[in-house]
Structure 1
Amino acid sequence: MTLQPPAAPQASPPAEGPAPTGLRTALVLAVAAGAALLLALPPFDLWPLAIVGVALLAIATHRRRLRAGFGLGLLAGAVLFYPLLHWTSFAAGWLPWALLSTAEAVFFGLTGLATAWLRPLLDRWRGLLWPPLLGLLWVTQEAVRDRAPFGGFPWGRLAFSQADAPVLRLAALGGAPAVTFGVAAAAGALVGLYYLIFPAWRALPAETRRKPWLARPRLDWRRPWRDPVIVLSVIAFALVVLPRAVPLGGDQGPVKTIAIVQGNVPRLGLEFNEQRRAVLDNHVKATLQLAADVAAGKRKQPDLVVWPENSSDIDPLRNQDAAGEISAAADAIKAPILVGTVLRTNNPNNIKNAGLLWVPGAGPDPTQQYVKRHPVPFAEYMPLRSVAKLVSDKVALVRNMVPGATPGVLRTGPLTLGDVICFEVAYDGIVRDTVTGGGQVLAVQTNNATFNAAEARQQMAMVRLRAVEHGRDSMMVSTVGVSGFVDRYGSVHQLTGFNTAAVQVRAVHLTSSRTLATRLGALPEIAAVVLAVAALAAAFVLRRGRREITGDGAEKAEAR
């Protein structure tokens, strides 16, 4: 493919590859990349901007010095994560928010560095390596960020921005890593097209450049597989549009009715912990009202009722008043209740964040409880406590939350529920374990009273991805919102508002089959990481002993 004016053919890009953008332009592109990625995520949900953001960052960092690539990636990450994670400051204060946002931005810096490192490969084969290499690079970055440090923090993954996009269906094939790969690979196709077309356009006479419609691309339609512009265009189109053809869902099992109760809290904020009895009362009253509506024929009788995380911060196994209230609600509704509770231990400094099944006429069933397996560091347990005291004056409020040891698979009688608590929905393996353990429906119990509606909607996007990934009808139930049901196609039903009380009842399908993503587990992600490491090693071999020649004037720009 060449770009040429009507009269004569024009020069092709230089053999050594495109020069890097100017430093000022690169800074603007990095800021724009971070902003685009932010707007792609909830609550904005402009999902095409995720592709744009990845592409802009790649253009900004390509063929730059490694330190410049790191700096530009760090800048893009800061633009993304500081506003994205602002809700953490409501509970922890400004300094922990800044430290977390900066730590997350460092991973973007490493992505920019890696993009600059891969230039010997990216400049080869006429741009056709851009889609796979950029896809592998972003999957690898997220794989590391999801696990380190202190167990990782997966917020802001590309996959979580695609709840309304066709590429979401790739989750059924390879989970969140497959969705991230699709987004980044589509961006890579755009970058490859940019580097094929833009240098050729710049080589045109000034008069033709002022009238770009006169510069017509000459494409090799007789052998389209050999024309990189056609190939990259097809790749971009396929990654954005064709995932709609991926089949979703599984076997149509029996239907059961589930009620979710969003009782609300008297006041948002950290004072939530001082309102434990009022919060429990709210959820009991809402359930009793649901029982009255069922008796009057206004609502369908549920087979299971799900309360949110922290709906009873009073340990009902040790407090008879709390136990009596919950028993009254379960007896009235005539269905088991999954209660989100905080269980005390014999050590007063240790607690457990649990989902506990409460059976009508029998009370709590200790054999059917799930203890949160991944407590949040510095919020639900305190590593490096002596150091953390220097950062936040709220360290003394944090007790050690003891992690559970088994997946959240709860056999309620009518159905087997796969349960995860709050931020655990962001972690691939924790959710998958509930499905491989027999979960027929997925539930996310959460408490957003110390955050805001933006954080709650970000969690709901994760629930939508998990529903598609595992082919399970799902639900998210929060103390204050948002709550709602999600079908196996990722569509949300009966979504509640924020900071309000609500009860929703819906019939859901029980599913026992497993998607390809469920069967493969972490294998696609592992394969992507291995291939990314191999690409980085190949770039090392190509770079070794080779002088960096970037063209007239570009060498000076790269050194900055």
Structure 2
Amino acid sequence: MTTLEQDQPRAADGAGPHAGGRALPLTVAVPAAVAAGLALLAAFPPYGLWPLAPVGVALLAAAAHRRRLRAGTGLGFLAGVALFAPLLEWTNLHTGWLPWALLSLLQAGYLALLGAATAWVSPLVDRWRAAWPLLTGVLWVGQEALRDRTPFGGFPWGRLAFSQDTSPLLRLAALGGAPLVTFAVALAGGIVLTAAWRDWRRPAGQWRPIAGLAAAGALLLAAGPAVPAGVRGAGDTVTVAIVQGNVPRLGLDFNAQRQAVLNNHVDATLELAERVTRGAQERPDLVVWPENSSDIDPLRNPGAGYRISQAADAIGAPILVGAVLLGPGQGQVRNAGLLWRPGSGADLSQVYTKRHPVPFAEYVPLRSIARKVSAEVDRVRSDFVPGDRPGVLDAGAATLGDVICFEVAYDGIVRDTVTGGAQLLVVQTNNATFDVAEARQQLAMVRLRAVEHGRAALMSSTVGVSGFVSPDGRVDGATGFNTAETVVRQMRLGDGRTPATTVGVWPEVALAALAVAALAGSAVARRRREVTPG
């Protein structure tokens, strides 16, 4: 017998399929679960086939419906592996197969829980078929809420919302953030499934429910574009330059060439300054360098500090430098965004330290235990220390909301900068150890954050993709990958708050609470079914 064995009703544990119907044959359910994961994968960059996200949701829900818990778990796990193993393949590029495999399996485990939850609520679906889309939506939000926070602060990559950067549903982020977009995608999948499920095929009134569901789906898609983009602002604009200096070679060994990476960004800025002097380019109000543009601590290394000052003085504008700073303790370092002003150098009052270092990449939790699994953890020689303040930086011409690399995936970290007064969103990132798929997935997150908070945003990468994003999610000036480029654009400042910024985490709390209520309600329904005479 396997985890995906053919289900038979079992009253003793209350976890069997509903007596009023049958599950899909196992020979159909298993391929459907795998197809669900692949459809979800295709919805994300670099493929970007966003309509397949609801299809993937529908396939997984259909496969797990009326299954026992362990079968629902197994089907969800299959879908998760089919999604996350290829989605996160870039983690295998330079670190080996083990981290990629462990991360993929861990993330697939959350879809296994989703499959179990889907199987568990089957009695509610069979009793109130019209509730199927709602139940599907809240279970997805609940699963993502858990995955985004556990373990070690979670890993939000692969959220349904991040697959919708070119979808009409993207603008819903301005109302309720990424959780509302995820809910809408899963709701759409539930609508598709409810309309297609065979139990609707009755001789009389066959098209009535299908027509109603089709109308609901059309209304959902129309709701997105109807949401206004952006917020009120003073109308002021600032000129911002992104410097993508590139690295000598892709891969982890670029850290051994730290001076060359710094020189690349200095030289590119000096070239920009020369164009400004010739009148070929407007002088920027701000220059943004990416994460790790100075892996040499410029506060302790006079040579590195001199080179950055040389660039800032030449361009005549502050530079937001992505720097690795030593300390505060022995063997500790910080991943920071440091404002470097022309004439005066480092502004120590305007430093942002990354609040969410990446586990097993920037620090090693439970190092003594992790070392028993793989000695590779000792490649992380110094643990990065997390910061304790949002990345709100006063650059003079604008107040910046700075987040570093993967932090753009975390709702609260980005929102804290906007509630702290940020007028522009800045994402400093280093994609040199990954590939273009990861960079495009990250840019999709930046697009959602711009819409969510009504702020113009930019992503500055060492190797690409870098670019500017308007408050309605449109990308401008996107660079190539593994290239040296400098892009200058005007960005409009924003001062107001979207509904999503105002309500914060509460839409997610409400939807996740509905998921818990659905699970509890299904437990009651199963209990009543067990004790009903006959």
TM-score range, shorter chain: over 0.9
Aligned residues: 513
1:41 aligns with 2:47: no
Structure 1 residue 387, shift from structure 2 partner = 2.1
Partner of 2:301: 319
Q: C-alpha displacement at 1:91, in angstroms?
A: 3.8
**Are 1:349 and 2:352 counterparts?**
no
Task: Please give the residue correspondences for 1:114-263 in structure 2 after superposition, counting only pairs within 5 Å.
Answer: 114-125=117-128, 127-195=129-197, 198-199=198-199, 201=201, 219=207, 227-252=208-233, 253-263=235-245
Q: Rg bigger for which structure?
A: 1
CA contact (8 A) 2:291 2:429 kept: yes
TM-score of the two chains, using structure 1 as the length reference: 0.90
Displacement of 1:546 in angstroms is 2.2
CA shift, 1:548, in A, is 11
- Given candidates 376, 380, 396, the residue that maps to 1:413 is 396
**Larger deviation: 381-390 or 433-442?**
381-390
Measure the CA separation in 2 of the matches of 1:451 and 1:218: 51
Percent identity, please.
Answer: 62
Task: Sort the Cα spacing of 1:280 and 1:200 in 2 relative to 1 into closer, same or farther, 3 A.
Answer: closer
SS in 2 for 1:370: strand
State the partner residue of 1:384.
366
Question: Is the contact made by 2:423 and 2:494 (CA closer than 8 Å) also made in structure 1?
Answer: yes
Residue of structure 2 in register with 1:502 after alignment? 485
Does the CA contact (< 8 Å) of 1:95 and 1:391 recur in 2? Answer: no
The answer for the alignment partner of 1:92 in structure 2 is 95
Deviation at 1:228, TM superposition (A): 3.0
Greater mean alpha carbon deviation, residues 137-146 or residues 127-136? 127-136
1:273 offset after TM fit, Å? 0.8
Give, in angstroms, the shift of residue 230 of structure 1: 3.1
What is the match of residue 26 of structure 2? 23
> 1:272, CA displacement in angstroms?
1.2
Aligned to 2:526: 543
CA distance in 2, matches of 1:324, 1:372: 24
1:119 Cα shift? 0.9
Distance apart, 1:192 and its partner CA: 1.1
Indicate the residue corresponding to 2:284 in structure 1: 302
| Secondary structure in 2 matching 1:329 | helix
Question: In structure 2, the residue corresponding to 1:439 is in which secondary structure?
Answer: coil
2: distance between equivalents of 1:392 and 1:451? 21
Deviations 1:131-158 (CA, angstroms, capped at 9, x unpaired): 1111100001000000000100000000
Flag the 1:276–1:63 CA change in 2: closer, same or farther, 3 A: same
Structure 1: runs of 5+ lacking an equivalent: 1-14, 205-215, 220-226, 550-560
Instruction: Tell me the distance in 2 between the aligned counterparts of 1:312 and 1:301.
Output: 23
1:17: Cα distance to partner?
Answer: 4.3
How many angstroms apart in 2 are the aligned matches of 1:139 and 1:218?
31
Partner residue in 2 for 1:7 = none
Q: Would you identify which runs of 4 or more consecutive aligned residues in structure 1 move more than 4 Å? A: 216-219
Distance 1:184 1:200 in 2: 20
1:259 to partner: Cα distance: 0.3
Does the residue aligned with 1:300 lie in a helix, a strand or coil? coil
Query: Which residue of 2 is the match for residue 102 of structure 1?
Result: 105
Once residues 318 and 63 of structure 1 are traced to their aligned partners in structure 2, the CA distance between those partners, rounded to angstroms, is 63
Is the 1:78–1:101 Cα contact (8 Å) retained in structure 2? yes
Instruction: Please say if 1:430 is aligned against 2:413.
Output: yes
Deviation readout 1:223-248 (Å, 9 max, x if unpaired): xxxx5333322221122233111111
Cα deviation, 1:183-233, whole Å, max 9, x if unaligned, reads 0001111111122xx3465x78xxxxxxxxxxx9655xxxxxxx5333322
How many angstroms does 1:93 deviate by?
1.9
Contact conserved, 2:200 with 2:206, CA < 8 A, in 1? no
Q: Residue 67 of structure 2 aligns to which amino acid in structure 1? A: R
CA gap of 1:200–1:322, structure 2 versus 1, over 3 A, is closer
Give, in whole Å, the separation in 2 of the partners of 1:509 and 1:349: 41
Q: Which moved more, 1:393-402 or 1:374-383?
A: 393-402
**Deviation per residue, 1:423-470 (Å, 9 max, x gap):** 000000000000000000000000000111000000000000000000
Match of 1:209 in 2: none
In structure 2, the CA distance between the partners of 1:506 and 1:29, relative to structure 1 (3 Å rule), is same
Aligned counterpart, 1:552: none
Residue 446 in 1 paired to residue 429 in 2? yes
SS at match of 1:386: helix
* SS of residue matched to 2:349: strand
Structure 2 alignment gaps of length 5 or more:
1-17
Q: Is the 8 A contact 1:183 1:239 kept in 2?
A: no
Question: Which amino acid counterpart does residue 467 of structure 1 have in structure 2?
Answer: A
TM-score, normalised on structure 2?
A: 0.94
Give the superposed CA RMSD.
1.6
Contact 1:92 / 1:392 at 8 angstroms: preserved in 2?
A: no
